[in-house]
Amino acid sequence: MNKTQFNIPPGTQNIIMTRAFNAPRQRVFDVYTDPTLIPQWWGPRAYTTVVDKMEVKKGGVWRYVQRIADGQEIAFNGVYHEITAPERLINTFEVEGLAGNVGLVITTFEEQGGQTLLTEVSVFPSVEDRDGAAASGMQGGAIETMDRFEELLAKLQIK
């Protein structure tokens, strides 16, 4: 069984992803918001992620570019609307090239007996947009991303 869990309630605009990490909440939050560490965990292993911008503050923008081995690029961007360290982030999320498909992501970090439960609630503009994202294989990419995040947390803990 995979450690990353998804809840995709029928008829809603939400995809809810949860994963518990064996690390304190502050460390999980810090790694999650450190632009120097993003390339080490964000996205599938076959892609190279470059952080173009990442201003983790209210009104700050973020933009990541993923490069695929064949030279294609996919860019993602958004704006931070709330940062309550180490408890919660709220930001927008957009895949560049899919105009008008801006989602909202609410990420919470909950301390649970020495572990941290990370929950991402992605709210899409419509049920159809949410269904399209769910059908696109995004779950596989998200699982691989969270696996890489866990590996990085473990590596940093050893140092």
Tokens of 120: 């991402």
Phi, psi of 134 (to 5 degrees): -65, -35
Per-residue pLDDT tens digits for 16-54 = 999 999 999 999 999 999 999 999 999 999 999 999 999
Per-residue pLDDT tens digits for 96-129 = 987 778 999 999 999 998 899 999 999 999 999 9
Say if strands 61-67 and 48-54 run parallel, antiparallel, or are unpaired. Answer: antiparallel
Half-sphere exposure of 93 (CA within 13 A, CB side): 16
| Contact between 28 and 112 (Cβ < 8 Å) | no
CATH of 5-34+82-158, one of 3.30.530.20, 3.40.50.10310, 3.40.50.2300, 3.10.350.10: 3.30.530.20
68-87 burial, b if ≥16 CB within 10 A, otherwise e?
eeeeeeeebbbbbeebeebe
* pTM metric for this prediction: 0.94
Boundaries of every domain in the chain? 5-34+82-158
pLDDT of 1 strictly over 80: no
